Structure 1
Amino acid sequence: EHRTLRFTVTTPNIGDADIFIGDPNTHMDPNGDGNFKDSDGLFEFATCHNHFHFRNYAKYELLPVAADGSLGAPIQAKKRGFCMIDVTPFHETSNGSWVYRSCGRIGIPGNQGISTGWADTYVKSLGGQYFLMDDPVAPVTPGNYLLRITVNPPFVASNKEPCPALDTNGFCHMFKESDYSNNVGQVYITVPDRVGKTGWGPGGNDGNLTSEASDDEDRPTK
């Protein structure tokens, strides 16, 4: 058992067009021979969930806040891969129907993306939606922190890693955008030196977490 700091993240499509990814199988195995050697590098296969995850979609960071308000070195969550589907209607442009609802598995077509006016929501009970508080390398000790979420984050492509879009600073992004400056959401939090009787959910009203939901089209909506 481990102590974890869990959180929910919602990533809305506020643009005027859909984010279309399509079937991960066509990215992982373009020639259909069952071998991933010809993958375009946009996805990776997650053995823990038995489906494909889109790479470099979001970055989760926890930054210690000092007494003078300065920020320390960020602690990064372990979550690396994502499945983008329509989960939550975000504003009045959503018409009540969703288009993208299937992550896809080996040999089973998926349809990933986010419709305009909709959001993908990663609830706190999903695998990877946490910081490991008792991590032996980067523990989360009691104190004040800034929780920062960056969507479509900048990155430096490693060898053979795709760089679909390049910004004016020379960093790669998975999606080309007209404005990269509005992709960060952050909130100040306090990690107490002890938790309540359950220590799970706002106010301890959610009971104990006994299992993690799979990050797929059957994910819960709250």
Structure 2
Amino acid sequence: MRLVPVAGLAAVVAFAACSNADRGRLTPSGPQFAHVQDLDGTPDLIVDGKRLADSWVIYDQTFLSTTCSVIEGGVQAGDHRVLRFTVTTPNIGDADVFLGNPLDHVAANDGLYEFAACHNHFHFRHYAKYELISTDGHMWRAAKRGFCMIDVTPWQSDGGVSSWVYRVCGTKTLPGNQGISVGYADTYFKWLGGQYFVLDGGDGQAPIPPGDYIIRITVNPPFVAAKGEPCPHVDPDGFCHQLLESRYDNNVAEVLIT
């Protein structure tokens, strides 16, 4: 990884970490059922490694004190060198990932969502994990704190998929409709809040020196439930996952950067 400036890419980060404006998405007035839900079967999520490999870039950014990355993400206000990247998570299974309205999950206290006051909406817990790993095994975490699952782009479509089902994140007072349709992918573009590693130590982690690294992205990652924490689904190795999938062994993409 060569820490060199990229001309024309200095920027000011002045948005919440995952607001609708931040994600660059339209927000319909309510859930949009443009085609019939497919709930017969089991979802299977993967990470698009090619898109990850083609997307990463390093440049300098100014983080304002009013951004959620600073308020709750642990990043110090000011100028920082960042490694940014895009993450796309297609559903290649034979059923939709269906979550529906986050407010229903909060009312049920099922542990899937937590409220983020800075963003004024709910974050899905344990949806993805972003890691940067050195050749000697040292690991850094990205600043991403929360996710909203919606249909963003058709996945390897031949033109037959032209509409979406899940398109509304929802807020504390407005219902949402979250999920990922079969043959669709959710995408967090590299310019969005949290889609970066801070390279200069400005997030409280050790500075990242030049060298060879692996970007590792895990969707629906395994976790060990804390005392009192729900464990919705268990894989063959005994680890918890928030989402049921037909497979858990294809949830990781790794990209070598030099």
Give the alignment's TM-score, normalised by structure 2: 0.66
| 2:88 counterpart of 1:22 | no
SS of corresponding position for 1:2: strand
Instruction: Report what 1:153 is aligned to.
Output: 221
Instruction: Report what 1:87 is aligned to.
Output: 152
- Root-mean-square deviation (CA, aligned residues, Å) is 1.4
Q: Which moved more, 1:14-23 or 1:71-80?
A: 71-80
- Whichever residue aligns with residue 154 of structure 1, its letter is P
Residues 170-185 of structure 1 aligned to structure 2 (within 5 Å): 170-185=238-253
- Residue correspondences, number: 177
Measure the CA separation in 1 of the matches of 2:143 and 2:215.
14
Measure the CA separation in 1 of the matches of 2:100 and 2:255.
32
Q: Which residue, out of 110, 123, 128, partners 1:40?
A: 110
SS of corresponding position for 1:79: coil
Residues 62-101 of structure 1 aligned to structure 2 (within 5 Å): 62-65=132-135, 71-92=136-157, 95-101=161-167
Contact 1:144–1:189 (Cα < 8 Å) also in 2: yes
Q: Which moved more, 1:137-146 or 1:12-21?
A: 137-146
Instruction: Report what 1:126 is aligned to.
Output: 192
Q: Which moved more, 1:168-177 or 1:51-60?
A: 168-177
Measure the CA separation in 1 of the matches of 2:110 and 2:242.
12
Q: Which residue, out of 170, 177, 181, partners 1:111?
A: 177
Q: Which moved more, 1:88-97 or 1:104-113?
A: 88-97
Q: Which residue, out of 111, 126, 141, partners 2:209?
A: 141
How many angstroms does 1:91 deviate by? 2.1
Contact 2:131–2:139 (Cα < 8 Å) also in 1: yes
How many angstroms does 1:160 deviate by? 2.1
Contact 1:9–1:121 (Cα < 8 Å) also in 2: yes
5+ long unaligned stretches in structure 2: 1-78
1:19-72 deviation per Cα after TM superposition (whole angstroms, max 9, x unaligned): 000100111134xxxxxxxx321101122321111010111011002xxxxx41
Contact 2:93–2:246 (Cα < 8 Å) also in 1: no
Q: Which residue, out of 62, 84, 88, partners 1:10?
A: 88
Q: Which residue, out of 109, 124, 129, partners 1:59?
A: 129
- Whichever residue aligns with residue 21 of structure 1, its letter is L
Measure the CA separation in 2 of the matches of 1:104 and 1:74.
33
Residues 184-203 of structure 1 aligned to structure 2 (within 5 Å): 184-190=252-258
Measure the CA separation in 2 of the matches of 1:139 and 1:165.
36
Identity of aligned residues (%): 64
- Whichever residue aligns with residue 123 of structure 1, its letter is F
Contact 1:56–1:80 (Cα < 8 Å) also in 2: no
How many angstroms does 1:161 deviate by? 1.6
5+ long unaligned stretches in structure 1: 31-38, 66-70, 191-222
SS of corresponding position for 1:29: helix
Contact 2:127–2:221 (Cα < 8 Å) also in 1: yes
Contact 1:6–1:125 (Cα < 8 Å) also in 2: yes
